[in-house]
């Protein structure tokens, strides 16, 4: 069944676990993500950035996820990740996304609040949940040669987060607390105290972007502090690419996609299963 991210994360907050939000940009990755959720009997959030959705096709993506979710009888939220404008959010909602993330975190607080409010109004009228963001989360979902960019100056201020959440009426909050998109040479160091303070002032589920490359201990601490949604992209992209390389190595004559793509689907599935198991924090999902 297609559900909203709010539906899944309200339960996650109560149960003190997190739901994985996994990015996809191809049918194989989509299959790997949904099969992982099916095998573990858990709900899942599947998401695309605007770039990923433009590549796949918003409608093609939504229809595919709906069909597979129905066939496998799993609960899935379909999320637009880092939507940048009211127009792209509206387009996603019209295509059938059940959740949207509006990222106007590069704007000042007043402009960010204003645009987020407009998104909430439109999305809630369509029963679509909204994730807002304050405090810029840098990086990109790739494997980087260098060290993680320093971000302390744009870490989310808990007081401002409280005001933003109250003023906008968002359902889920994404902040900057030491998390950066992508994998770097050095490990990230999450500011767990900051997450806790934001959780205390907000009262709503918190989202952790940049889930790739964060050590398991820090993930558990972050969940304990109030994180209910964890986004993962880079580790999936890396697994997919490496499995594809391996599947094709020494097989120059192989031209049949359905003979080499299953290995890439399987690699994605294994990464997602590992993450779901970690994020579930021992929680057993029942009907």
Binding of ligand 13P by 275 (CB under 6 A): no
Catalytic-residue membership of 81: yes
Smallest separation, CB 18 to ligand 13P (Å)? 13
Q: What are phi and psi of 46, to 5 degrees?
A: -115, 140
Binding of ligand 13P by 105 (CB under 6 A): no
Active-site option among 7, 63, 67, 81: 81
Binding of ligand 13P by 132 (CB under 6 A): no
69 vs 180 by CB, closer to ligand 13P:
180
23 vs 105 by CB, closer to ligand 13P:
23
In the three-class reduction of DSSP (H, G, I as helix; E, B as strand; rest coil), residue 83 is classed as strand
The Cα 234–Cα 81 span in angstroms is: 14
Q: Which of 233, 273, 279, 280 is in the footprint of ligand 13P by CB under 6 A?
A: 233
144 vs 167 by CB, closer to ligand 13P:
144
238 vs 259 by CB, closer to ligand 13P:
238
Label the pairing between strands 19-23 and 2-3.
unpaired
Binding of ligand 13P by 210 (CB under 6 A): yes
Binding of ligand 13P by 79 (CB under 6 A): no
Residue 8's Cα: distance from chain center in Å?
13
Q: Which stretch, 60-68, 195-203, 206-214, 255-263, contacts ligand 13P (CB under 6 A)?
A: 206-214
Burial of 38 (0-12, 13-18, 19+ CB in 10 A): middle
* Contacts with ligand 13P, 14-43, as mask; x by CB under 6 A: ---------x--------------------
The Cα 3–Cα 44 span in angstroms is: 10
Task: List beta partners, residue 78.
Answer: 46
Q: What are phi and psi of 230, to 5 degrees?
A: -125, 120
Q: Which of 234, 261, 269, 275 is in the footprint of ligand 13P by CB under 6 A?
A: 234
In the three-class reduction of DSSP (H, G, I as helix; E, B as strand; rest coil), residue 141 is classed as strand
The Cα 141–Cα 172 span in angstroms is: 21
Q: How many helices (H) and strands (E) does the chain have?
A: 11, 11
- The site for ligand 13P (CB under 6 A) is made up of 23, 81-82, 141, 181-182, 209-212, 231-234
Which residues are the active-site residues?
A: 81
């Amino acid at each position: 069944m297609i559900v909203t991210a709010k539906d899944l994360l309200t339960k996650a907050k109560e149960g003190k676990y997190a739901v994985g939000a996994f990015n996809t940009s191809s049918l194989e990755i989509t299959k790997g993500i949904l099969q992982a959720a099916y095998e573990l009997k858990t709900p899942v959030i599947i998401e695309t950035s605007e770039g990923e959705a433009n590549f796949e096709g918003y409608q093609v993506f939504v229809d595919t996820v709906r069909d597979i979710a129905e066939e496998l009888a799993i609960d899935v939220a379909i999320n637009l990740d880092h939507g940048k404008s009211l127009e792209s959010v509206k387009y996603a909602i019209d295509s059938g996304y059940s959740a949207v993330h509006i990222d106007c975190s590069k704007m000042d607080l007043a402009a960010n609040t204003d645009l987020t409010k407009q998104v909430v109004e439109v999305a809630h009228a369509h029963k679509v949940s909204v994730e807002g963001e304050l405090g810029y989360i840098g990086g990109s979902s790739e494997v980087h040669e260098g060290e993680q960019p320093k971000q302390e100056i744009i870490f989310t201020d808990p007081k401002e987060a409280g005001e933003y959440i109250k003023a906008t009426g968002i359902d889920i909050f994404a902040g900057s607390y030491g998390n950066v998109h992508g994998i770097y040479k050095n490990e990230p160091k999450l500011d767990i105290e900051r997450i806790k303070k934001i959780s205390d002032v907000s009262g709503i589920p918190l989202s952790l972007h940049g889930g790739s490359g964060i050590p398991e201990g820090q993930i558990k601490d972050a969940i304990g502090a109030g994180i209910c949604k964890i986004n993962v992209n880079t580790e999936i992209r890396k697994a997919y690419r490496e499995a594809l390389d391996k599947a094709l190595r020494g097989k120059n004559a192989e031209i049949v996609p359905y003979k080499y793509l299953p290995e890439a689907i399987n690699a994605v599935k294994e990464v997602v299963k590992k993450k779901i198991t970690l994020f579930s924090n021992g929680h057993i999902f029942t009907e």
